[in-house]
Structure 1
Amino acid sequence: MAERSTSVVTAGRFREVMRAYPTGVVGVTAATDRGPRALLVGSFFSISLRPALVGFCVGEQSTTWPDIRRAARFGIGILAADQQDLGRTLAAPGPQRLAGVPWRPSSAGVPVLPGVLAHLECVPVAEHPAGDHTIVVAEVRSVRSLRDHQPLIFCHRTFGTVADARSGDRQVRSG
């Protein structure tokens, strides 16, 4: 296999290379003093088992994260492969992403997204500035598996499935 030439690390070149790496897709939700809020995150990861910690990255330009940050608890919904429309809704600009989404409140009042694979309820532990993003660390206070299905992933600038990524398709299918 021929190696592609290396180049100076520019934002565009870095984005081009990194978009070939598939990421899982989650919705972060909270009941805030300004109403229910949600945002889509593609940088979500497990950090620790004891205590149960997860992390995700939020762009510094996010207008939704400041509202979610102020909530005592927030939810993380792991999206399923058949939830591409919900993913697009949560990625849309503006604070009213949950308008028209039939979410339900958890026992703690945190919005639970419909049809997700799992729902985690978390409390914020720390934030770390990292370039043009913030790394958020959260302690998981409750976790529920809600359905058995493939996860939704994002790769090559589109939604798809793990099977699509494994097949070696240059363009991950959506649909």
Structure 2
Amino acid sequence: MAERSRPTVSASRFRELMRAYPTGVVAVTAATDRGPRALLVGSFFSVSLRPVLVGFCVGKQSTTWPDIRRTARFGIGILAADQEDLGTALAAPGPQRLAGVPWRPSSTGVPVLPGVLAHLECVPGAEHRAGDHTIVVAEVRSIESLRDHQPLIFCHRTFGTVADARGGERPVLSG
């Protein structure tokens, strides 16, 4: 049997395609020995129901994830559609993303961002190297639903909202 040659997919072509695929936006937060830290994540997903596990991807070049990884607990805040400014602030480079962002500590001291749809408290689990990213799997220890609102999404290099599931009259992206 003749060996097939592997097709080459360029990173730029793949990035162009994935920009058109909407993702939810979450903030990963922790109280670290270097102060409160946060990073914005667009690859967040459920992994398991028994036990309750979630996952997200972090770029290997992240300077914030190593600080968060060392904590016993971290939070995941699901951003609401009206939190584009918060998303922009948390996407900025550098470790001080929470500077000037109001937050409250949870009962375990994990930063909870105001206005998020929900806050999940997690304990670190497995990490899997995957190309230029790390896939993080975490066990959810508590969930706090904070408000009923549309989630913030990221698509075509901009924040937006999902179509209203009840009426479907709004555009997929707004703003």
Same fold (TM over 0.5): yes
Letter in 2 for 1:72: A
- Structure 2 residue ranges without an equivalent (≥5): 1-6
- Give 1:14's aligned residue: 14
Q: 1:118 to 1:53 in 2, by over 3 A?
A: same
Q: Secondary structure at the match of 1:163?
A: coil
Deviations 1:15-55 (A, max 9, x none): 00011110000000000000000000000000111100000
2:56 counterpart residue number? 56
Residue type at the aligned position of 1:11:
A
- Structure 1 residue 28 and structure 2 residue 28: aligned? yes
3-state SS, counterpart of residue 89 of structure 2: helix
Q: 1:97 to 1:147 in 2, by over 3 A?
A: same
Where does the alignment leave 5 or more consecutive residues of structure 1 unmatched?
1-6
Superposed counterparts of 1:107-122, under 5 Å: 107-122=107-122
SS in 1 for 2:137: strand
CA distance in 2, matches of 1:40, 1:62: 11
Contact kept in structure 1, 2:162 and 2:173, CA below 8 Å: no
Distance 2:91 2:133 in 1: 16
1:77 Cα shift? 0.1
Instruction: Work out the CA distance in 2 between the residues paired with 1:114 and 1:98.
Output: 12
Counterparts of residues 14-163 of structure 1 (less than 5 Å): 14-163=14-163
Q: CA deviation at 1:111?
A: 0.1
Q: 2: CA distance between counterparts of 1:32 and 1:136?
A: 18
Whole-Å separation in 2 of the counterparts to 1:58 and 1:172: 25
User: How far off its partner does 1:172 sit?
Assistant: 3.0
Q: Report the Cα offset of residue 154 of structure 1.
A: 0.2
Q: Verify the 8 A CA contact 1:42 1:154 in the aligned structure 2.
A: yes
> Matched residues in 1 for 2:54 and 2:128: separation?
13
- Structure 1's 168 and 113: CA in aligned 2 closer, same or farther, altered over 3 A? closer
Is the Cα contact below 8 Å between 2:30 and 2:71 reproduced in 1? yes
CA gap of 1:142–1:44, structure 2 versus 1, over 3 A, is same
Partner residue, 2:4:
none
Give the counterpart letter for 1:140 in structure 2. V
User: TM-score under structure 2 normalisation?
Assistant: 0.91
**Cα distance in 2 between the residues matched to 1:62 and 1:8:** 27
CA contact (8 A) 1:81 1:160 kept: yes
Larger radius of gyration: 2
Q: Which 4+ stretches in 1 moved above 6 angstroms? A: 166-169
Provide the TM-score with structure 1 as the length reference.
Answer: 0.91
**Percent identity between the aligned chains?**
84
Letter in 1 for 2:34: R
